[in-house]
A and B are shown apart, each in its own frame.
Chain A
């Protein structure tokens, strides 16, 4: 197990700059998310760390060792791919055993290790199946077991749940979190889903257009975003002139209060406990407010009604 240091890494593809002088440190034993929209360079950064892409400039250190010139197979990383990269012609058992077989470990050791891992990822009964006979979630757990089998120093996950449906995705996230608590290997997960990053990771690296926008815990990113991009990427946001405010910091009242402004209720959307109110201000700007069911019942909101709006915890970025 080892930490990872990325120093001034730049990567270009045919004139497109995927990574622009990126430096970041991934602490040993952490679970870090690389978060960003598509094309932000997050997958490229992961592949540079894995050794599947070589950077045009900069260095990658795993532990204290400079691995920039090493091929992927020598880096001791476990990688899980978005589309599973299951070896279709091998059984689940042989898939998981692959890395050990390559290393010519004794048969008995391989058998014990594979069964231990299949138990860990809850696929004990499916050792003889082929990948085609598994569900997407099972395939991805197999891929994870395969990556873990060689006891990698770091575990790299490239949008591992991207191809799964929403419910399975949620289950696997919680499961991954628990798994990390058990095995404690330094883990990087690439995702474009801010909820996934917040739920799973202890540290989040936000990327945009090949640069790092901010590094911090989920709470730090949400409460004190470094800039407009991070603020709008990690949660919904209203923009009024130069100030930004989260919908749950928009307060509504029937009577005018200090600092409040008038707005008309356009639409009330009930989502269960949460209710979303779409408002139109006198100056023509639209505003979203996030309230609870109780609030809305108290105010008896109806479309067309005039209410008074006050925002707290607003932010401005230079």
Chain B
């Protein structure tokens, strides 16, 4: 009896909290018909925003993937002093407000900041593409590390040692033994990193300057349309983001069982 109470309580909570709002986005977006929605997401500003969002992700995700693998190896296999602190530094973006992240970048690269001088040398970081990439890298940094670390712990070192006794050097051991064992975890982390990179709002909006058609990512575009009373446009673009989110969830689901079988 109590089992059914918990089951329906939990499922009801999920339905109200998750499905109702997400369903509502689709409902509102297609309120005025499909062609209206299609028109809203194909305006030059919307298309540019989508392109910019994907471009930023295309830089931040590979960078964080390489970093994530190296960092996970260092955390699990390395014998560095201060591993606890390093761990905390890697987790920090998970716990920190994105607005604080954005502000930190503004203070670092802005006028009077330590690296504020870069702008004078023609390297404009704030309110420009590089700043948005840096903000995105910051907030999406931990995901690959977090996924890979437990898998590395679990596979242990025996296989790597066996490869070594068979004549494999460190790089060969990584390529042939370690990487195949962690690749599903890496893939899982990459999907999460991508999701975060595409969806980031607070940090990016603090450093972007939010110029339509130039430094506006899709989430920023959604907010701008809403503020400009173009709710139909806001909802239509939201649907694009929601569909990416659903693709992410499907990808995560596809990757999960493999990871366990691996």
User: Residues of A with Cβ closer than 8 Å to B?
Assistant: 50-52, 71-75, 77-79, 81, 83, 85-89, 98-99, 102-103, 143, 146-147, 149-150, 156
Binding-face segment, B52-60, B162-170, B213-221: B162-170
Residues on the A chain within 8 Å of B166, using CB: 73, 78, 98-99, 102, 146-147, 149-150
Identify the interface centre among A74, A78, A81, A85: most chain B CB within 10 Å of its CB: A85
Contact call A79/B181, Cβ cutoff below 8 A: no
Residues on the B chain within 8 Å of A146, using CB: 162, 166
Partner of A52, one of B165, B172, B262: B165
**How far, in whole Å, are A99 and B168 apart by their CA atoms in the complex?**
7
Contact call B262/A99, Cβ cutoff below 8 A: no
**How far, in whole Å, are A72 and B160 apart by their CA atoms in the complex?**
11
**How far, in whole Å, are A86 and B181 apart by their CA atoms in the complex?**
12
Judged by a CB distance under 8 angstroms, whether B23 is at the interface is no
Partner of A103, one of B163, B167, B177, B262: B167
Residues from 25 to 84 in B contacting A, C-beta threshold 8 Å: none
Contact call A81/B164, Cβ cutoff below 8 A: no
Residues from 151 to 171 in B contacting A, C-beta threshold 8 Å: 158-159, 161-169
Partner of A73, one of B158, B165, B181: B165
Residues on the A chain within 8 Å of B7, using CB: none
Query: A89-B180, A89-B262, A98-B176 given as contacts; is B159 within 8 A of A147 (CB)?
Result: no
User: Shortest Cβ distance from B203 into chain A, in angstroms?
Assistant: 37
Contact call B262/A73, Cβ cutoff below 8 A: no
Residues on the A chain within 8 Å of B180, using CB: 89
Query: A98-B176, A102-B172 given as contacts; is B167 within 8 A of A85 (CB)?
Result: no
Main DSSP-derived SS at the B contact region:
helix
**How far, in whole Å, are A52 and B173 apart by their CA atoms in the complex?**
14
Residues on the A chain within 8 Å of B262, using CB: 88-89
Residues on the B chain within 8 Å of A71, using CB: 164
Contact call A79/B162, Cβ cutoff below 8 A: yes
**How far, in whole Å, are A79 and B157 apart by their CA atoms in the complex?**
14
Identify the interface centre among B159, B166, B169: most chain A CB within 10 Å of its CB: B166
Contact call B172/A85, Cβ cutoff below 8 A: no
Identify the interface centre among B163, B167, B176: most chain A CB within 10 Å of its CB: B167
Residues on the A chain within 8 Å of B177, using CB: 87
Residues on the A chain within 8 Å of B176, using CB: 87, 98, 102
Could you show 11 A-B contacts with beta carbons less than 8 Å apart? A52-B161, A52-B164, A75-B165, A85-B158, A85-B162, A87-B162, A87-B176, A98-B163, A102-B168, A143-B162, A147-B165
User: Shortest Cβ distance from A141 into chain B, in angstroms?
Assistant: 15
Name B172's closest neighbour in chain A (CB-CB).
Answer: A102
Contact call B165/A83, Cβ cutoff below 8 A: no
Contact call A72/B181, Cβ cutoff below 8 A: no
Partner of B164, one of A72, A78, A83, A150: A72
**How far, in whole Å, are A102 and B165 apart by their CA atoms in the complex?**
11
Residues on the A chain within 8 Å of B164, using CB: 51-52, 71-73
Contact call B172/A79, Cβ cutoff below 8 A: no
